[in-house]
Amino acid sequence: AQKITQTQPGMFVQEKEAVTLDCTYDTSDPSYGLFWYKQPSSGEMIFLIYQGSYDQQNATEGRYSLNFQKARKSANLVISASQLGDSAMYFCAMRVTDSWGKLQFGAGTQVVVTP
């Protein structure tokens, strides 16, 4: 069975600072993908960044980067230079190839960016 764990229910960060959101996972499938989504208060799910289990390099996408440590089964999201618009719920999710492509989500981390 697969499991995704986000242990930080909420975080405050000051504008322009970096913030790291933790995500650990567990799966016996060697082929998996890890995704981060942002959910603002309006409710929609916005895809941020993806990391594949076989990727050699950490994924980056603008101000978002993923600190992927495969041996520790962690895939932490780093948001650099936080902006007020980054205030949202952030979900880590995993997809394994040996399934019908469903995503399994963590509990989420609420980020509040303060001026």
Partner 1 sequence: EPEVTQTPSHQVTQMGQEVILRCVPISNHLYFYWYRQILGQKVEFLVSFYNNEISEKSEIFDDQFSVERPDGSNFTLKIRSTKLEDSAMYFCASSEARTANTEAFFGQGTRLTVV
Question: Which residues would be at the binding site for partner 1 (CB under 8 A)?
Answer: 29, 31-33, 35, 37, 43-45, 47, 50, 52-53, 91, 93, 95-97, 99-108
Q: Where is 67: in which H helix or E strand?
A: strand 64-69
Angle, CA 67 vertex, CA 61 and CA 72 arms, to 5°: 150
Minimum Å distance from CB 81 to partner 1? 25
Nearer to partner 1, 79 or 106 (CB): 106
Minimum Å distance from CB 115 to partner 1? 25
Nearer to partner 1, 45 or 78 (CB): 45
The alpha carbon of 32 is separated from its chain's Cα centroid by a whole number of angstroms, namely 14
Minimum Å distance from CB 93 to partner 1? 8
Distance CA 18, CA 32 (A): 27
